[in-house]
Structure 1
Amino acid sequence: MLSDQKDWYGSETPPAVIQAKSSAEFKHEASSGSSKGGVVYSVENGIKWIISWSNMEDESNKVYIDITKDVVDWISIELLLANSTSNPPSVTKFGFTATATIQPDSSTLSLTANLKKD
């Protein structure tokens, strides 16, 4: 279930719920040629899945993922995103594994993120 979202550049309407063992798509509309945002989905027992992305003009695209039980701090996430890559390492915590990739140098953002129960 969607529990939080952040739009630094652009706007989005992510799905409110993604059912287990299914997928969902949404579009983040760019603002002034840039798209940068994030979503947080509550999984179970206080576990949150964080996905954030950056598709800024004249920069390589980046994605940041995490699995946490902590309060989501968008200021920290923005800093972590700035230091991330287009293909960050998988994150395994609390019995889940998260992965994500984004095309590194495309103006049309296509990001794929997955969360699997271990």
Structure 2
Amino acid sequence: MMEYVETRTKALSRHQIQKLAVDTDDIIFLLPEDVTVVFDQYGRKFCSIVMRFWFLTSLEGPQDPEATKIFRVAPSQDGCQQTTVATAVYEFRRELTKGASPDWTVITVWHWHWTLAPDS
């Protein structure tokens, strides 16, 4: 997963990458989109969970149509940078077999307009 993220963000500056970080306080809603349990031929079982997060961001760029269908943010009135709502989708996987590591692995990352993050 780290290789995938590094490849996708290679063209971004360090500042742009830092602006992609989502603080847990900025997550306004999350929803499990898919939960799958799979058994393999060796009797192991695996669980995959696809989670969609809606979060507040100050990134500029086109509005996220998925977020604007559901959420509306009031315009900034105190001169602060305007905040909008964007979407991120993460897929987590973990082996549930007895004795397996309890750690979840992120196997898919998708952020709305992460390639459009402004460099300022």
Taking structure 1 as the reference length, the TM-score comes to 0.24
Q: Flag the structure with more relative contact order, 1 or 2, with Cα contacts below 8 A and sequence separation at least 6.
A: 2
Structure possessing the higher radius of gyration over alpha carbons: 2
